[in-house]
């Protein structure tokens, strides 16, 4: 890749938006950014459906997904709570990203790069996890 | 509002987050922005818009950043299977598709051209060895298109036999000389030169069977380097005209005269001025002043000057001042500044920089520098 244009075809509408959009968690293209201090561990493989009593593993458009938690947010207070599994919860907030972050996708197969979205807000968890009582 | 969170068991690869400063966001909105992978050892990458260049640095961090998107699970999940911890029933589902531990940080820089990648063309029929087309070379340079065009002609870049190269100083001056002679002979207006017209005039003078050394590309380089684009209401937008930069031409001829007549022995200033004037094509008039050549000569004896190239001097400031005072015991500040300004890397006021290494005193309306 000595030189490659970054495609922005998907972002024409995003660029038309006001740069000072009100707080939101997902972009108009449906992307969300969650930042956790430390690691988030979850199963890497699906398990026998008979053993999956909580229906945590699902298939969606050919991809295996694992449900790892529930997130609750309030756009007014910007407070967020994340329940991970059955034992831990994290308290976080919705914050503005300064400067905004462009989501780039590098496609090695055809050597292209595209700017897929512009993220202006993220959900961040700065504190240690608390137990679920 | 509560949401079910999922992660893909096989995350997608190839995603990066790029910090979008206001200028970069503007660049994306107004035109194409491209990544350029440089061929340096560090494997650096730059982003280039039409007129700006950003160096990209990857900043790693120890946080986990999950990129998610909204989706609607096919089939749905029985409500009783999801422990909501007393929260309202989740109204949406997000799936993490990639996890990142770095961001790309852009820093606005001046675009640059790495001329060491190019052959130097002396005007002889010697095949070029590096064989890079102009586009290939452009793609290797950490430089936007507009910055490239202005720097390319400034360094004497041209295209010979279809490949990018640099014109040697001697060949560039020779080409300039021929162009000026042709302009005089054909009565072309040096304040409104057309590259096409000049190239046609030069091509006309080539003898049959001989190669034309002064091709359209060579003329383009020389006129861009020694001229300014002029805008005129009378000409068509595509008909770009140039005004010859007389002081730059005078300086080039002056430096050439210094190398020719004052490189080995000092020469009297009056005699040098005669030799300088004699370098120009007949009937070509431009104003000459020895001050135009500051940074190219020293005065080892009263009223005598000698050529001295900056490239032969030490890169150490203390040593450089010592060398300059070896050649000339006292300097007018204006004569000395071009020889030392590149050492002032901290951007100090030049007076402050000088007094760190030399004595400075005002005599009348001049500032005289001498050794401590």
**A119 has a chain B CB within 8 A of its CB:** yes
Q: Do A6 and B39 touch (CB under 8 A)?
A: no
d(CA B4, CA B94): 6
Mean pLDDT of B226-244: 81
A55 vs B37, B77, B99: nearest CB: B77
Q: Is the ipTM of this structure higher than 0.85?
A: yes
Contact yes or no for B35 and A15 at CB 8 A = no
Binary contact (B2, A72; C-beta < 8 A): yes
For residues B169 and B240, membership in a common domain is answered with yes
**Is residue B255 a part of any domain in this protein?**
no
Contacts with B85 from chain A: Cβ below 8 Å:
70, 83, 89, 132
The CATH number linked to B79 is 2.60.40
Nearest chain A CA: its distance from B119 CA (Å): 20
Q: Please name the residues between 52 and 91 in chain A that touch chain B, using a CB distance below 8 Å.
A: 53-55, 57-61, 63-75, 82-83, 86, 89
Distance from CA of B42 to the nearest CA of A (A): 14
**DSSP conformation class of A12:** H
Q: Among the three residues B80, B109, B138, which one is the final residue of a domain in this structure?
A: B109
Q: Are B77 and B91 in the same domain?
A: yes
What is the rounded average pLDDT of the residues B138-144?
A: 88
B156: phi then psi, degrees, rounded to nearest 5 = 85, 30
Residue of B nearest to A3 (CA): B36
Average pLDDT across chain B, whole number:
89
Q: Which residue has the higher pLDDT, B126 or B248?
A: B248
pLDDT digits (tens, 9 = 90+) for A10-40: 676 666 666 666 778 888 888 999 999 888 8
Asked whether residue B220 falls in the same domain as residue B335, the answer is: no
Torsion angles phi and psi, residue B135, rounded to 5:
-65, -40
Q: Which band of pLDDT confidence, cut at 50, 70 and 90, is reported for residue A130?
A: confident
CB B49 within 8 A of CB B55: no
- A55–B65 C-beta distance less than 8 A: no
User: A14: helix, coil or strand?
Assistant: helix
Question: Which residue range(s) make up the domain with B298?
Answer: 261-370
Task: Give residue for tokens 């929260």.
Answer: B87
C-alpha to C-alpha distance for B213 and B202, rounded to whole angstroms: 9
pLDDT-above-70 percentage for chain B: 93
Q: Which of A64, A102, A107 sits opposite B14 (nearest CB)?
A: A107
**What is the count of structural domains for chain A?**
1
Top-confidence range, B5-9, B17-21, B206-210: B17-21
φ, ψ of residue B81 in degrees (nearest 5): -85, -15
Q: Do B71 and A60 touch (CB under 8 A)?
A: yes
- CB–CB contact A99 B20 (8 Å): yes
Q: Is the pLDDT of residue B289 over 50?
A: yes
Mutate to test the interface with B, among A46, A57, A58, A118 (most CBs of B within 10 A): A58
Q: Nearest Cβ partner of B140 from A2, A29, A119?
A: A2
The reply to whether B123 and B230 lie within a common domain is yes
Q: Rounded distance, CA A121 to CA A116, Å? A: 16
The CA distance from B245 to B255, in Å, is: 16
Confidence of residue B372 (pLDDT cuts 50, 70, 90): confident
Q: A98: domain range?
A: 3-131
Judge if B236 and B336 occupy the same domain.
Answer: no
Task: Kindly state the average pLDDT of the residues B129-143.
Answer: 87
B117 touches B163 (CB < 8 A)? no
Which is more confidently placed, A130 or A15? A130
Q: Is residue B75 predicted with pLDDT exceeding 50? A: yes
**pLDDT for B157-178, tens place per residue?**
999 988 999 999 999 999 999 9
Give pLDDT, residue B79. 64
Q: Could you give the CA distance from residue B339 to residue B312 in angstroms, rounded to a whole number?
A: 11
Residues B46 and B62 in one domain: yes
Q: Is the pLDDT of residue B363 over 50?
A: yes
Its pTM stands at 0.76
Is the CB of A101 less than 8 angstroms away from the CB of B68? no
Using H for helix, E for strand and C for coil, what is the string for chain B?
CEEEEEEECCCCCCEEEEECCHHHHHHHHHCCCEEEECCCCCCCEEEECCCCEEEEEEEEEEEEEEEEEEECCCCCCCHHHCCCCCCCCCCEEEEEEEEEEEEEEEEEECCCCCHHHCEEECCCCCCCCCCCCHHHHHHHCCCCHHHHHHHHHHCCEEEECCEEEEECHHHHHHHHHHHHHHHHHCCCCCCCECHHHHHHHHHHCCCCCCCCCCCHHHHHHHHHHCEEEECCCCCCCCCCEEEECHHHHHHHHHHHHHHHHCCCCCEEHHHHHHHHHHHCCCCCCCCCCHHHHCCCEEEEECCEEEECCHHHCCCCHHHHHHHHHHHCCEEEHHHHHHHHHHHCCCCCCHHHHHHCCCEEEEECCEEEEECC
**Residue B304 contacts residue B259 (beta carbons within 8 Å):** no
Task: Provide the pLDDT for residue A79.
Answer: 92
pLDDT tens for residues A83-94?
887 778 889 999
Phi first, then psi, for residue B48 (nearest 5°) are -130, 130
Percent of chain A whose predicted confidence (pLDDT) is above 70:
86
Q: Does A130 touch chain B (CB under 8 A)?
A: no
Determine the angle formed by the axes of helices B145-154 and B216-225, rounding to 10 degrees.
Answer: 90
Return the axis-axis angle of helices B317-327 and B333-340, rounded to nearest 10°: 140
In this model, does residue B243 exceed pLDDT 90?
Answer: yes
Q: Is the pLDDT of residue B62 over 80?
A: yes
For A13, the enclosing helix (H) or strand (E) is helix A12-16
Q: Name the closest residue on chain B to residue A104, using Cα atoms.
A: B16
Instruction: Note the pLDDT of residue B115.
Output: 85
Instruction: Give the model's pLDDT for residue A4.
Output: 82
| Confidence band, pLDDT 50/70/90 cuts, at residue B82 | low
User: How far apart (Å, rounded) are the C-alpha atoms in residues B199 and B158?
Assistant: 14
Chain B contact present for A47, CB below 8 A? no
**Domain-ending residue, one of B88, B109, B130:** B109
pLDDT in tens, B244-279: 999 999 999 999 999 999 999 999 999 999 999 999
Examine the domain organization and report whether B281 and B351 are in the same domain.
yes
Over residues B15-25, the mean pLDDT reads 94
Q: Across the interface, do A33 and B33 touch by the CB < 8 Å criterion?
A: no
Q: Taking the CB of residue B357, how many other CB atoms lie within 10 A of it?
A: 20
> How confident is the model over B41-65, as a mean pLDDT?
89
What's the pLDDT at B314? 94
User: Which positions in chain B touch A19 (Cβ < 8 Å)?
Assistant: 25
pLDDT band at B89 (very low <50, low <70, confident <90, very high): confident
Which of the listed ranges A52-61, A121-130, B215-224, B225-234 does the model predict with the highest average pLDDT? B215-224
A22 to chain B, closest Cα gap in Å: 17
Q: How many Å apart are CA B336 and CA B333, to the nearest integer?
A: 5
Stretch B103-119: mean pLDDT: 90
Nearest by CB to A58, from B25, B36, B73: name it.
B73
The tally of domains found in chain B comes to: 3
Cα separations in angstroms, A68 against B4, B64, B209: 8, 15, 80
Cα–Cα distance measured from residue B22 to residue A102, given in angstroms and rounded to the nearest whole number: 12
Token pair belonging to B69: 């998107």
A32, HSE (Cβ side, Cα atoms, 13 Å): 23
pLDDT at B126: 66
Q: Do residue B121 and residue B104 come from a single domain?
A: no
Q: How far apart are CA B46 and CA B111, in angstroms?
A: 10
Q: B280 vs B72, which has greater pLDDT? A: B280
Residues of A in contact with B87 (CB under 8 A): 70, 72, 83
The helix/strand/coil state of A15 is helix
Inspect the interface and report whether the beta carbons of A63 and B9 lie closer than 8 Å.
Answer: yes
* Count of Cβ atoms closer than 10 Å to residue B260 Cβ: 12
Whether B253 is in a domain gets the answer no
With a cut of 70, say whether residue A1 has pLDDT above it: no
Element (H, E) at A91: strand A88-107
- B62, B88, B109 — which closes off a domain? B109
Give A129 to chain B, closest Cα distance, Å.
14
Per the CB < 8 Å rule, is A6 touching B74? no
Contact B103/B17 with Cβ under 8 angstroms?
A: yes
**Is the residue at B350 inside a domain?**
yes
Q: Is A3 on the interface with B (CB under 8 A)?
A: yes
pLDDT tops 90 at residue B54: yes
Assess whether B80 and B131 both reside in one domain: no
Q: How far is CA B218 from CA B1, B114, B205, B222, in A?
A: 68, 20, 15, 6
Predicted confidence band of residue B125 (pLDDT cuts 50, 70, 90): low
The beta-carbon neighbor of B4 closest among A11, A70, A74 is A70
Q: Identify whether B359 is part of a domain.
A: yes
CB contact burial B236-257 (16+ within 10 A = b; e otherwise): eeeebbbebebeebbbbbbbbb
Residues B141 and B202 occupy one common structural domain: yes
Q: Are B35 and B43 in contact (CB under 8 A)?
A: no
**Candidates B10, B34, B136; nearest CB to A64:** B10
Contact A11, B30 (CB under 8 A): no
Query: Is B215 inside a domain boundary?
Result: yes
């Amino acid at each position: 890749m000595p030189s490659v244009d970054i495609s922005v075809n998907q972002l024409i509408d995003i660029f038309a938006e006001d740069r000072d959009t009100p707080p939101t968690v997902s972009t108009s293209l449906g992307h969300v950014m969650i930042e956790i201090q430390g690691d988030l561990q979850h199963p890497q493989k699906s398990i026998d459906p008979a053993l999956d009593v909580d229906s945590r593993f699902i298939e969606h458009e050919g991809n295996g997904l694992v449900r790892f938690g529930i997130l609750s947010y309030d756009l007014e207070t910007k407070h967020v709570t994340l329940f991970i599994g059955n034992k831990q919860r994290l308290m976080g907030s919705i914050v503005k990203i300064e400067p905004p972050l462009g989501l780039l996708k590098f496609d090695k197969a055809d050597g292209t790069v595209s700017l897929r979205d512009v993220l202006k807000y993220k959900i961040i968890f700065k504190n240690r996890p608390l137990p679920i009582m | 509002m509560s949401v079910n969170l999922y992660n893909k068991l096989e995350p997608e690869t190839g995603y990066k987050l790029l910090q979008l400063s206001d200028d970069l966001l503007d660049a994306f909105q107004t035109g194409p922005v491209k990544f350029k992978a440089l061929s340096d050892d560090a494997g650096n990458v730059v982003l280039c818009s039409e007129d700006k260049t950003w160096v990209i640095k990857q900043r790693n961090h120890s946080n986990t950043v999950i990129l998610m998107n909204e989706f609607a699970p096919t089939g749905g999940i029985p409500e009783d299977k999801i422990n909501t911890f007393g929260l309202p029933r989740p109204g949406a589902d997000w799936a993490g598709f990639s996890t990142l531990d770095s961001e790309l940080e852009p820093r606005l820089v001046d675009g640059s051209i790495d001329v060491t990648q190019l052959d130097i063309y002396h005007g002889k029929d010697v095949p070029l060895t590096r064989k890079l087309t102009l586009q290939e070379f452009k793609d290797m340079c950490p430089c936007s298109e507009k910055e490239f065009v202005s720097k390319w002609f400034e360094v004497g870049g041209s295209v010979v036999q279809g490949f990018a190269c640099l014109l040697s100083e001697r060949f560039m001056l020779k080409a300039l000389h021929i162009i000026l002679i042709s302009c005089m002979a054909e009565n072309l207006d040096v304040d409104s030169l057309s590259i096409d017209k000049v190239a046609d005039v030069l091509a006309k003078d080539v003898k049959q069977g001989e190669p034309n050394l002064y091709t359209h590309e060579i003329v383009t380089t020389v006129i861009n380097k020694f001229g300014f684009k002029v805008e005129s209401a009378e000409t068509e937008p595509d008909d770009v005209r140039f005004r010859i930069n007389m002081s730059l031409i005078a300086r080039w001829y002056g430096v050439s005269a210094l190398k020719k007549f004052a490189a080995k022995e000092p020469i009297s200033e009056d005699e040098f001025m005669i030799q300088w004037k004699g370098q120009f094509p007949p009937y070509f008039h431009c104003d000459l002043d020895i001050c135009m050549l500051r940074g190219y000569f020293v005065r080892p004896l009263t009223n005598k000057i000698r050529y001295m190239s900056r490239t032969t001097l030490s890169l150490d400031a203390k040593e450089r001042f010592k060398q300059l005072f070896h050649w000339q015991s006292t300097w007018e500040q204006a004569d000395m500044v071009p020889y030392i300004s590149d050492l002032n890397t901290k951007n100090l006021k030049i007076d402050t920089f000088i007094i760190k290494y030399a004595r400075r005193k005002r005599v009348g309306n001049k500032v005289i520098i001498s050794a401590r």
